[in-house]
Amino acid sequence: MTFSSLLAALVLSTLTGCSRAPAHRLDFNQDVQPILASRCFSCHGPDPEMRKANLRLDLAEWAMRKRPNHPDAIVPGHPEKSALVKRIESKDPHFLMPQAARGEAKPLSAGEIAILKEWIREGAVYRPHWAFEVPRRPNVPMLQNAAAWTKTPIDNFILAKLQEVGLRPSPEAEKTALIRRVTLDLTGLLPTPDEVTRFLEDRSPDAYEHVVDGLLERPTFGEQRARYWLDYARYADTYGLHYDNSRDIWPYRDYVIRSFNDNKPFDQFAMEQIAGDLLPMKNLDPLIGSGYERLGVSSNEGGTITEELRVNIARERTEAFGATFMGLTVGCAVCHDHKFDPTTQHDFYSLSAFFNNIDEKPFNEDRPVWAPVLRIPKTENQDAYNRVIAQRSDLQGKLNEMRGNSHELVTRWLTSRNNPPRAVETNGLVLRLRLDEGSGEELRNSAPDANPASFHTTTLKGEWGETTWLWPDFRMQSSTRVLLGQMGDYDANQAFSSGGWFMFRSAPYHPASFGTLVSRMDSTQHDRGWELSAEDGFLSVALVNQMPKEEGQRETKKSKEKGKSEKKVEAKEPFNYPSPQDLSKKDLASNKPPEQKKAEEEAAKKDKAEAKAKAKKSSTKEPPKDTTPTIGLRVVSVTPLPLDGAWKHIFLTYDGSGRASGIKIFVNGNAIATRVVSDNLGKATIRTPAPMQLGWRNPEEHPAKDARYQDVRLYARCLNADEVARLPFEDYTAEVSTHLPSQWTPDQWHVVSEFYLNHVDPSYQAIQSKIAFLDKDLDRLSKGGDLTQVSWEKPSLAYANVLTRGVYTARTERVEADTPHFLPPLPSGESHNRLALAKWTVSSANPLTARVTVNRMWYELFGTGIVETTEDFGIMGQRPTHPELLDWLAVEFRDSGWNIKHMYKLMVMSGVYRQSAKSNPEQLAKDPKNLLLSHGPRFRMDAEMLRDIALQASGLLVENIGGPSAKPYQPPNIWEEVSYPTSDTVRYVQEHGDALYRRSMYTYVKRMASPPNMDTLDAPMRDVVCTRRQRTDTPLQALVTMNDVQWVEAARALAQLVIREAGPDTQKRINRMSEILLAHDAPAPTEAALAASVRQMKEHYAKDPKAARSLVEIGEKKRDASIPQSELAAWTMVASEMLNLDETMNK
């Protein structure tokens, strides 16, 4: 067999990959790389762990590199000298390549060997992977005799390929088939018989274009496009794990519909979803769109480890971003460098860092609103609201600009020597635990003349670097102890000050109850000593001689009660708009249908009664009271700290007066209001031999569970208020600014910039207060509005840690947010945040976004993408069947201003789209999957479309756009059977009326029990991004479309409709039904079959009126009583037959 006949055979047998005519030079991407990738890369590819013999075949420089003691793998131009060729051709099974661990690897086929040899003979030229090169617009192939068939440049590409393999395109479909196809594709619904008639009667040459233009303007166009996009974006109505509670994010769904209907340019659409919170805003759409980031599954499982959850969320978003916008399986690099693609682990975690910086708790608290949440103003307030949001956006833009320039501003400030940062005098500083060691068990004391100079953690070492504040942090694990020995050995007549930066652990079901922060107190000696602690957010300082057991707790509980009765003022953190803090219960309930609310209220009442009964039962005798009298000082803050998991600088000063009035508590440098609980120390001592401790009271009491610490200090003097005010940032800024800025770390730049902007630069602060003022307006104008989850960037640096094998505790290198190394870099000088990522995604240098997107459009219309693996454009993904066409479309898309409607129009106007779907044996033999498109697309419609057309055909469909998700018919116990008993989605409360007949895209999606009729028909669970649905054919599907009440009711309604519209004549009725569902009259044999069925069914139901009655009463819509029951029942069955026809179910 000659080489060219080998190649030709290959072309015919696969029709996808190696479709080059042998006369052409080989194309590395099309012909060679797929063989190397699938047969060689797993041992000789990018993953260093798996690499054998130090040979790497995915990069030219590696493949040609000399390796000691190895013959040259590839000698360009000389296959006979190349070891690679010898190995793949060898007859010796031990020498033959490829090899696999168990020796079951298949040898290369003769065709594959021929290609590799030819490629080496031609010079072994490597090309970058096709999808990573920026697409350029290729020339449209010039063809002879093409004019009759080609209608758009698309067709030239298709026809050229068909001619190459000797297939002919099919003629244009009949007009009826065409209007049905294009209407279904563009709107997800059927053309009405009137529309069909109008089209048939319109003999003008642009009749079809008129239809297309009309369809593109329908609101149902946006719905149909959104239906696909919601798969790409993994939209659902619940969180998807554990309780699987409801979430408020349906406004995102409506935003998507709106965006498609407004023909929003795709670049803007993409940017809003990736970073809408960072874009300038004229209305709320960008912010609503940013909900995309937060659509993934999330958990609030009771035992969840916060750090694990945080890592999982960033990972989920990264994988989703990769799938939605890049068409890459980046998730493969979670544990190791990608085995085939150049995505390294470093790339993965750098990319994940972009998504690691959203201002949210890692757990969703099982509330429908998981902050950050936006409240959307009601329609009547929208204009006023938008005016304010535009102003706010302008101001925010100025702030962002200043942040962007902060390096310059800071440098100018420091060189001006105007208002320089002032350090706090170090006199009296005896202990300073910076806790910036980053690893290990030794904690340095960086006070001047420190003695001792360091301390050891005991029992269990702390966790380092999980989050960053001034620097990567330190967390005490549940059994970490930091014993500080004889530090803090003061009596009540000595002044001292202590505190530092703290972040309290906040975890599901464990509302931070806090505990001891710093302490030298002995619980075995009636709590003698001193301590700074917190209880449910109430800060407390105690200097104690003796105290009865439980006193501390009782006191704080009392103050908590008191705190509640006072008006609770929770300081809003900066950068926290939109904030969920002020949502009332009513707000939270606003999205639920009244039936559900009622059911829930009743359930809640029952639970309450049960709890009460239980409490009554379990109430036991109180333990005997400890009669130890209280001797000591104790002050407690009047208001609690918000339990928001943010870093707080907490500090105490004591003047040595022996009086409670000598104690002050500061938060973030400001003195807070306190209340005196005890003031009767007198002359009694507070000295104790127990050691000073971080996070615990001696010996092992009252821990601040898993709290994080930075820069903890102890001064043997009473700091004044001005000094304490400088402690949180200014002191450290002063320290950093003694070094040259060129030596600063990014973290130091960040801290100094934050200090400069928030405390030094008056203009920045002025803008902030203006924004705070506008936020009040926004709050007011959005009262009572719907809620939706959005993204909101934290001001901190976006970073992540590379995790060994993806294990959340195995943190290694700390990486900055960045794009994968093998794709174009971010422009220099830009902040590495989601905004930069968003711009990068749609930049003209990005090779993937446009290709991936047009490919999905193609998939939606033709059933298969030009790249069949719509989810994978990487090296292991399928090669495009028409690479030039894909690039042409991608460039056209970009050059059109990312015009979505333009692209759909272009595709549906093409000759290839308009072909008849009929296939012949030659086509089936040569191209069974119709990848080359020698005939028009024909495939089973998606679940939602099948249900929608059944509702539409029967006149039941309610076409309202948007709003809270609907709960139509569902078999009993679908939710109950699997849900957590206290989940807010444990009971499915079916709605009535219009909700039963809305388009299926509005059906409520509970991730852990998705709507079963949709699920059976391959609707994805929306757990992960789905860019390509399965299209199976199972008996369970037949059961749905025959027996689901939704379809049975639709059949009955369709029967009523034709009986009313077509009069008594059977033939007319059948034809009407056919027109409605199939857009054409029933052909004679079909009509005969149906007419026979009508007779049979009539006969049957005439004999059994009871059965007839049962059948026609199915469904909540009242039947037409004027039609005799047996007649209606018979026609209901005939309508059901029609709804179940293969032709009906295919587009």
**Position 362 contacts another protein (CB under 8 A):** no
Structure tokens at 741: 């800025």
Structure tokens at 484: 């500080």
Of the ranges 268-276, 436-444, 517-525, 1130-1138, which one interacts with another protein (CB under 8 A)? 1130-1138
Considering only residues 27, 254, 436, 706, which one is a binding residue for another protein as defined by CB under 8 A?
706
Q: State the minimum distance, in angstroms, from the CB of residue 1037 to another protein.
A: 7
Q: State the minimum distance, in angstroms, from the CB of residue 570 to another protein.
A: 24
Considering only residues 461, 562, 592, 814, which one is a binding residue for another protein as defined by CB under 8 A?
461
Q: State the minimum distance, in angstroms, from the CB of residue 996 to another protein.
A: 16
**Position 1012 contacts another protein (CB under 8 A):** yes
Contact string 225-264 vs another protein (x = CB under 8 A):
---------------xxxxx--------------------
Q: Find out whether 990 and 969 touch, Cβ atoms under 8 Å.
A: yes
Considering only residues 980, 1067, 1081, 1102, which one is a binding residue for another protein as defined by CB under 8 A?
980
Q: Find out whether 473 and 465 touch, Cβ atoms under 8 Å.
A: yes
Angle, vertex CA 869, rays to CA 867 and CA 873, nearest 5: 70
* CB closer to another protein out of 30 and 1136: 1136
Considering only residues 46, 291, 703, 911, which one is a binding residue for another protein as defined by CB under 8 A?
703
Helices (H), 276-421: 285-289, 306-321, 345-354, 382-404, 406-416
**Position 803 contacts another protein (CB under 8 A):** no
Structure tokens at 142: 């010039």
Q: State the minimum distance, in angstroms, from the CB of residue 560 to another protein.
A: 19
Query: For the chain, what's the residue count?
Result: 1147
Considering only residues 471 through 510, tell me which ones interact with another protein, judged by CB under 8 A. Answer: 477-479, 507-510
* CB closer to another protein out of 279 and 1070: 1070
Considering only residues 1030, 1064, 1118, 1121, which one is a binding residue for another protein as defined by CB under 8 A?
1030
* CB closer to another protein out of 255 and 363: 363
Burial of 397 (0-12, 13-18, 19+ CB in 10 A): middle
**Position 1021 contacts another protein (CB under 8 A):** yes
**Position 434 contacts another protein (CB under 8 A):** no
* CB closer to another protein out of 180 and 901: 180
Q: Find out whether 1128 and 1055 touch, Cβ atoms under 8 Å.
A: yes
Residue closest to 555 by CA, chosen among 534, 569, 529, 526: 534
**Position 533 contacts another protein (CB under 8 A):** no
Of the ranges 631-639, 810-818, 916-924, 953-961, which one interacts with another protein (CB under 8 A)? 916-924
Considering only residues 7 through 26, tell me which ones interact with another protein, judged by CB under 8 A. Answer: 13-17
Considering only residues 119, 496, 1136, 1147, which one is a binding residue for another protein as defined by CB under 8 A?
1136
> DSSP letters along 1040-1102, please?
HHHH-HHHHHHHHHHHHHHHHHHTT-HHHHHHHHHHHHHSSPPPHHHHHHHHHHHHHHHHHHH
Q: State the minimum distance, in angstroms, from the CB of residue 1022 to another protein.
A: 10
Residue closest to 726 by CA, chosen among 650, 654, 668, 652: 668
**Position 700 contacts another protein (CB under 8 A):** yes
**Position 171 contacts another protein (CB under 8 A):** no
Considering only residues 304, 356, 630, 639, which one is a binding residue for another protein as defined by CB under 8 A?
304
Considering CB under 8 A, how many residues would be counted as binding another protein?
A: 133
DSSP label of 29: I
List of residues 6+ apart from 235 with CB closer than 8 A: 249, 252, 253, 256, 295, 1005, 1022
Considering only residues 313, 342, 1133, 1147, which one is a binding residue for another protein as defined by CB under 8 A?
1133
**Position 76 contacts another protein (CB under 8 A):** no
Considering only residues 329 through 348, tell me which ones interact with another protein, judged by CB under 8 A. Answer: 329, 332, 335, 339-341
Q: Find out whether 737 and 752 touch, Cβ atoms under 8 Å.
A: yes
Residue closest to 911 by CA, chosen among 213, 143, 173, 149: 149
Of the ranges 96-104, 518-526, 710-718, 763-771, which one interacts with another protein (CB under 8 A)? 96-104
Considering only residues 129, 1007, 1072, 1119, which one is a binding residue for another protein as defined by CB under 8 A?
1007
Cross-strand bridge partners of residue 463: 475
Considering only residues 101, 147, 673, 1121, which one is a binding residue for another protein as defined by CB under 8 A?
101
Considering only residues 638 through 697, tell me which ones interact with another protein, judged by CB under 8 A. Answer: none
**Position 1043 contacts another protein (CB under 8 A):** yes
Type and span of the H or E element at 459: strand 454-459
Binning the chain into helix, strand and coil, the percentages to the nearest 5 are 45, 10, 45
Structure tokens at 35: 């063989």
Considering only residues 1048, 1050, 1058, 1077, which one is a binding residue for another protein as defined by CB under 8 A?
1048
Distance CA 356, CA 797 (A): 10
**Position 561 contacts another protein (CB under 8 A):** no
Checking phi first, is residue 671 left (phi over 0); if not, alpha (psi -120 to 50) or beta?
Answer: beta
**Position 130 contacts another protein (CB under 8 A):** no
* CB closer to another protein out of 8 and 1141: 1141
Considering only residues 347, 466, 793, 1137, which one is a binding residue for another protein as defined by CB under 8 A?
1137
* CB closer to another protein out of 680 and 804: 804
**Position 448 contacts another protein (CB under 8 A):** no
**Position 971 contacts another protein (CB under 8 A):** yes
**Position 1034 contacts another protein (CB under 8 A):** yes
DSSP label of 81: G
**Position 459 contacts another protein (CB under 8 A):** yes
**Position 744 contacts another protein (CB under 8 A):** no
Crossing angle for the helix pair 175-187 and 900-909, nearest 10 degrees? 160
List of residues 6+ apart from 1043 with CB closer than 8 A: none
Cross-strand bridge partners of residue 703: 516
Burial of 389 (0-12, 13-18, 19+ CB in 10 A): buried
Of the ranges 352-360, 372-380, 960-968, 1021-1029, which one interacts with another protein (CB under 8 A)? 1021-1029
Of the ranges 72-80, 277-285, 843-851, 1134-1142, which one interacts with another protein (CB under 8 A)? 1134-1142
Q: Find out whether 381 and 779 touch, Cβ atoms under 8 Å.
A: no
* CB closer to another protein out of 328 and 369: 328
Contact string 1095-1124 vs another protein (x = CB under 8 A):
-xx--x-----xxxxxxxxx----------
Of the ranges 225-233, 579-587, 956-964, 971-979, which one interacts with another protein (CB under 8 A)? 971-979
* CB closer to another protein out of 762 and 921: 921
Cross-strand bridge partners of residue 497: 653, 715
Cross-strand bridge partners of residue 454: 444
SS3 276: helix
Q: State the minimum distance, in angstroms, from the CB of residue 1140 to another protein.
A: 5
**Position 939 contacts another protein (CB under 8 A):** yes
Taking the CA of residue 400 as centre, how many other CA atoms within 13 Å lie in the half-sphere pointing to its CB?
Answer: 18
Angle, vertex CA 46, rays to CA 44 and CA 49, nearest 5: 80
**Position 1018 contacts another protein (CB under 8 A):** yes
* CB closer to another protein out of 141 and 968: 968
**Position 852 contacts another protein (CB under 8 A):** no
Helices (H), 40-174: 41-44, 60-63, 83-89, 110-121, 153-165
Distance CA 1086, CA 483 (A): 88
**Position 701 contacts another protein (CB under 8 A):** yes
Cross-strand bridge partners of residue 652: 498, 665
Number of H helices, E strands in the chain: 40, 21
SS3 203: coil
